[in-house]
Amino acid sequence: MLIDGGGGMGEYDVGENILSPFLWSKGIKKIDYIVLSHAHPDHIGGLFSIVRNFKIGEVWLSSFPEKDGNFKDFLKLIGSKSRLVTAGFRKEIEGAKLEVFHPERRRVEYVSNEDSMVLKITFGSYSFLFPGDIGVASEKEIIGKAFSLNSYVLKSPHHGSKSSSSEEFLNKVSPEIVVITQGTSPGLPNENVVKRYLNRGIHIFRTQRDGLIEFITNGREIKWKFSKR
C-alpha cells in the first residue's frame, strides 16, 4: 500500500525520481493499493508516474472533486481501478486492520484539506494514524463521533501546520511518535505545534531533518531507522 505520492516541486517528478527508484530497490513491482488522502499537488503529484511505472490493484479516493483538472486527469489515468473510500470503511489485509474515520461521503467540486482521508492501520499492538491535511474543524468532527483514534505513530496533520493538531485531537490520539512530512515551505512546522508535541513528551521525527524514516513491526515490538538521501 502506498499512501500519497508527494509532489508540488515545480517540474521535478517525485514519483519518477524518488518513489519509483525506492520501491524498485525493495523489489516491488506491484502496488496492491494506492491511497490518495486528497488531490492537492503535494499529495497527488508523484502518483501519475507511479501508476505508469507499476502494476496497480485499487486506488482509494476520499472524494471526486468534479472541477479539479489535475484530479480529472488522474481519474482518467487510473480508469476502473478507482474506489471511493469514506468514513465507516473497514478492511483487514493479512492481519492488518484498516479503519477510515473521515470524510463522510459527499459531493465536492474542488479539492479541500478538510476532505482528506483519515486512515488508521493497526497491526498487533501498534497503530499508525494517517490524517492527511485535515484541520481543526475535521478533527472536532472526528472526535465527536467517539472513534478509537489512539495510535502509537501519528503522521502530523497538514505537515505540522498551525491549523491542525489541536489539544483535543492529540488527547484522543495520544501518540508516542509524530512524523512531520515537510519540504521547504516557510512556517512549517509551526513552532507552537512543535511545542505542543514536546510538552506531551511526544518524540518528533522530521523528514527534512531525518530523511527517510522506516518503521518495522511484527505487531509485538517496533523499531525504526533513518537514512539520509
Residue-wise pLDDT tens digits, 46-70: 999 999 999 999 999 999 999 999 9
| Antiparallel, parallel or unpaired: β 55-61 and 82-84 | parallel
CATH architecture of structural domain 87-229? 4-Layer Sandwich (3.60)
**One-letter-per-residue 3-state SS of 142-183:** HHCCCCCCCCCEEECHHHHCCCCCCHHHHHHHCCCEEEECCC
Considering only CA atoms, which of 114, 117, 143, 146 is closest in space to residue 130? Answer: 117
The residue-averaged pLDDT of 98-119 equals 97
The residue-averaged pLDDT of 63-79 equals 96
Q: Is the confidence at residue 9, as pLDDT, over 80?
A: no
Indicate the burial class of 189 (C-beta count within 10 angstroms; 0-12, 13-18, 19 or more).
buried
Q: Is the confidence at residue 105, as pLDDT, over 90?
A: yes
Q: What is the pLDDT of residues 195-222, one digit of tens each?
A: 999 999 999 999 989 999 999 999 999 9
Q: What is the pLDDT of residues 32-48, one digit of tens each?
A: 999 999 999 999 999 99
* Domain edges within the chain: 1-85, 87-229
Residue whose cell numbers read 468532527: 141
Q: Which residue type is seen at 218? A: N
Percent of the chain with pLDDT over 90: 92
Task: Calculate ∠ Cα 189-4-216, nearest 5°.
Answer: 80
DSSP 80-126: GGEEE--TT-EEEETTEEEEEEEPPS---SS--GGG--EEEEEETTE
Q: What gap in Å lies between CA 84 and CA 3, rounded to an integer? A: 15
The predicted structure's pLDDT at residue 10:
75
Element (H, E) at 129: strand 126-130
Indicate the burial class of 158 (C-beta count within 10 angstroms; 0-12, 13-18, 19 or more).
buried
Kindly indicate the confidence band of residue 187, based on its pLDDT and cuts at 50, 70 and 90. confident
Phi, psi of 184 (to 5 degrees): -115, 15
The predicted structure's pLDDT at residue 32:
98
Instruction: State if pTM tops 0.85.
Output: yes
Considering only CA atoms, which of 60, 58, 69 is closest in space to residue 36? Answer: 60
Q: Is the confidence at residue 141, as pLDDT, over 80?
A: yes
